[in-house]
Structure 1
Amino acid sequence: MPQRGCTVLDLAFSVRDLARTRFALSPLWELVASVRVLKHPAEHPLHHPWSAQARRRLAASGLDWHLLADLVPQPPHSIPVFIAPPPTTSVADLGLELTVLRATPPEQVRSGLGGARAPRSERIDRLRSDPRRGLAELVELMSAYWEITLAPYWPRMRSLLEGDVLHRARLFAEHGADQLLGDLGSAVTWDDDTLSVGHHYARGSRHLGGRGLLLVPSVFVWPRVFSVITPNWQPTLRYPPRGVATLWERQSALPQALAAVIGRSRARLLAELDTPASTTELARRTGITAGGVSQHLTALRSAGLVDAHRSGRYVLYGRTEAAEVLLTAAGRPGDG
């Protein structure tokens, strides 16, 4: 069922559209969508464990992220498409997406910031008046914001997003496009070659025009869906992935199978890194001395199981994708 206060947008598919429908991940869109959560954390209680930590780190870093906040407004204003355009490849590469953003033609920036629902502020006016300089500053700001608020969590987020894509690929392989498109969330329904989407602004019926639909799972859109139907862009639907409600849960019981391979202390540290943490915090949680934690983290980092990210005065450690795979193979803590 469409969300309260939404109109309904019907996307009409042809056979060619079904053949060109694909999936992609977009770190840049996650960055932009996360700003909504940080600006209004009370409206996004599901993400409170992340937003509380991210706000503290932003405050400690001293980063001025007001331009980014201005570009991600509340309704009735809308997020300009050009700051997080639909990705052109299926590879999740923030650097590539930022390169595309920085190369946005000036006239496209001015057009995107000049519509009736475009956000307004003095900072945005400066971006609109000098797009080349403004985009360079915006890209630098986004890179810093990512390192502070999202980089430590990205391996876990990416694992969830990729898992959702694999699940839906299996649905398509086993049951066809009807099952795939009929399982995208409560705000989306599929019937008679038409995808009906709850939408805050658009209504009526649109034909995809043989371009297909780009499906982008997104952590920070939950519980809504976001769509792109603007001319010159790939028609896109950003939807919440399966399992997002448990993304920030901490499950730090010792993974016994992994402990038998890499040792109890290192397995315990990996389990504790469900949320990124400092050496001091890990020592407090585990009872291991700070020096011991540091030695174990150095070994885990050398093995490619842990990454380090600076947040203000602190260095935070987080699991890598390789560590996520190991924990999954060994059985998630609490699974047995």
Structure 2
Amino acid sequence: MPGQVVFEHEDLMRCRFAVSPLWETLAAVHTLFEPHRQGFHLPWLRTARLPEQVDLTPIRLLLPRPGYVPDFLTPPPDSPLTSFEDGIARLRATPPDRVDHELRLSLLAPHRRLPPATTEQLLSDPAATRDTMADLLTSCWNELVRPHWPRLRSLLDADIALRSRVLALEGLEALMTGLDDRLRWEGETLNMAGPSAPERLHLGHRGLVLMPSAFIWPELILISEEPWQPTLVYPARGVGDLWTPSGSPPEALAKVMGRTRALILTRLTAPETTRSLATRLDLAQATVSTNLIALRDAGLLESWRVGREVFYARSPLGSALVAELPQL
């Protein structure tokens, strides 16, 4: 039987999207530990390196599979623009008694059976363990994630833009069920399949944070341990193309509309901003902007504004043209 997340009216009003650089860092470390879980990140894994003096053993002990990962390691972001530094500051501010409680939930779970000396080392001084984790995650951010953050952030922002558009045009049910195949919306209850699904969670007017992640696939994770705001972490769209080189557009299409416009049209597989697309294709923003507008004016792209950003996506005509390319 699937788990259930029960909403009330106040919870619906407090649903929001967020991005967490700290979460992505911990998820990237998890991928580093278990590279066999997915092939999407192989290009990243080939270059992911940490200095020899960085020992990730303490973090590895807190990433059991299966099992509970302490939530204090990734406090839900409190704003859409939370930085890594903001997340680490909240981690370091976690009260020692909360750290101790969550460490015990993870380390002393019956199925784990860790050596007493190992658990005692982490449990003897919760504040010191918390600070050690913060230091290690900072090293991982600087070496593994920060160099790629513009690319990762663009992917996550594009996912949120798409979901926001679905919410505006089709409503909450379409938004929730579109996040992942394991989610079903019934009345005011979100049914969720998977190992992290709660038996029955009442949000209690706390709302729900919806957070896309590049490194979480194929998992779907619900953070529900109080006092943290409930957070649903789901796989972002477009991860399969995250590390794909820009390459060359199909020659037949390039002859018709020019190489740059053909490249943009074929690589725009999900909504993106001018800035994110320019970063991904290694082109000047001015060049990308001019060509996006030309493709939109030709009816091959659509655009819409979210806050200060303008997002572009293929129109039905543009998608039909790309779909026919193998036959050209």
Q: Could you state the TM-score of these two structures normalised by the residue count of structure 1?
A: 0.71
Q: How do 1:48-87 and structure 2 match up within 5 A?
A: 48-54=42-48, 57-58=49-50, 61-75=52-66, 77-87=67-77
Structure 2: distance between partners of 1:168 and 1:140: 34
Partner of 2:2, secondary structure, is strand
Structure 1 residues 214-223 or 188-197, which shifts more? 188-197
Name the counterpart of 1:231: 226
Asked if the contact 2:17–2:160 (Cα under 8 Å) also holds between the matched residues in 1, the reply is yes
Name the counterpart of 2:30: 36
Q: CA deviation at 1:138?
A: 2.0
Structure 1 residues 120-129 or 207-216, which shifts more? 120-129
Q: How do 1:78-227 and structure 2 match up within 5 A?
A: 78-115=68-105, 116-117=108-109, 120=114, 125-227=120-222
Partner of 1:217, secondary structure, is strand
Quick one: structure 1 residues 324 and 146, their matched pair in 2 at CA, closer, same or farther if it must change by over 3 Å? farther
Partner of 1:221, secondary structure, is coil
Structure 2: distance between partners of 1:251 and 1:179: 32
Structure 2: distance between partners of 1:241 and 1:327: 27
Does the alignment pair 1:21 with 2:15? yes
Q: CA deviation at 1:100?
A: 0.7
Structure 2: distance between partners of 1:181 and 1:324: 36
Q: Aligned AA for 1:88? A: D
Q: CA deviation at 1:104?
A: 1.0
Name the counterpart of 1:3: none
Partner of 2:200, secondary structure, is strand
Asked if the contact 2:211–2:232 (Cα under 8 Å) also holds between the matched residues in 1, the reply is yes
Structure 1 residues 39-48 or 20-29, which shifts more? 39-48
Q: Aligned AA for 1:21? A: C
Structure 1 residues 202-211 or 234-243, which shifts more? 202-211
Structure 1: distance between partners of 2:284 and 2:62: 33
Structure 1: distance between partners of 2:89 and 2:118: 21
Partner of 1:11, secondary structure, is strand
Structure 2, gaps ≥5 residues long: 250-259, 265-274, 293-312, 314-321
Structure 1, gaps ≥5 residues long: 1-6, 255-266, 272-304, 306-318
Q: CA RMSD in A?
A: 3.3
Quick one: structure 1 residues 130 and 41, their matched pair in 2 at CA, closer, same or farther if it must change by over 3 Å? same
Asked if the contact 2:197–2:221 (Cα under 8 Å) also holds between the matched residues in 1, the reply is no
Q: CA deviation at 1:70?
A: 2.0
Q: CA deviation at 1:49?
A: 1.6
Q: Aligned AA for 1:86? A: P
Name the counterpart of 2:6: 12
- Paired residue total: 267
Q: CA deviation at 1:206?
A: 2.0
Asked if the contact 2:196–2:222 (Cα under 8 Å) also holds between the matched residues in 1, the reply is no
Partner of 1:251, secondary structure, is coil
Asked if the contact 1:70–1:124 (Cα under 8 Å) also holds between the matched residues in 2, the reply is no
Q: Could you state the TM-score of these two structures normalised by the residue count of structure 2?
A: 0.72
Q: How do 1:226-305 and structure 2 match up within 5 A?
A: 226-253=221-248
Asked if the contact 1:160–1:241 (Cα under 8 Å) also holds between the matched residues in 2, the reply is yes
Structure 2: distance between partners of 1:21 and 1:39: 32
Counting aligned pairs with the same residue, the percent is: 33
